[in-house]
């Protein structure tokens, strides 16, 4: 297989993969962001705790994966 054909094949594969999963991934992340932002801000006792809650809401997948790894003892 020559180089231009390989390049076109790779472009097609990556384009197709991105198109099929982008909406569902973004939807799950945005719903998680909204839910965690509401939770952390409602539990905050000061302005800076609320601001930290918004930062935690942006990074909620990190906390999720960390908790999962603790649960399965990795």
How far CA 21 is from CA of 7, 28, 44, in Å, comes to: 22, 11, 34
Would you state the pLDDT for residue 63? 86
Query: How confident is the model at residue 64, as a pLDDT?
Result: 87
Instruction: Note down pLDDT in tens along the chain; length 74 residues.
Output: 555 555 555 565 555 555 555 667 788 888 888 999 999 999 999 999 999 999 999 998 888 899 999 999 87
State residue 49's pLDDT score.
Answer: 95
Q: Phi and psi of 59, rounded to 5°? A: -100, 20
The predicted pLDDT at position 24 comes to 74
| Phi, psi torsion values for 63, nearest 5 degrees | -65, -35
Where exactly are the structural domains of the chain?
23-74
pLDDT at 26: 82
């Amino acid at each position: 297989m020559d180089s231009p054909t390989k390049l076109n094949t790779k472009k097609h594969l990556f384009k197709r993969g991105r198109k099929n999963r982008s909406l569902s991934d973004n939807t799950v992340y945005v719903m998680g962001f909204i839910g965690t932002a509401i939770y952390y801000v409602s539990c905050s006792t000061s302005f800076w705790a609320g601001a930290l809650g918004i930062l935690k809401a942006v990074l909620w997948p990190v906390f999720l994966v960390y908790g999962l790894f603790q649960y399965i003892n990795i």
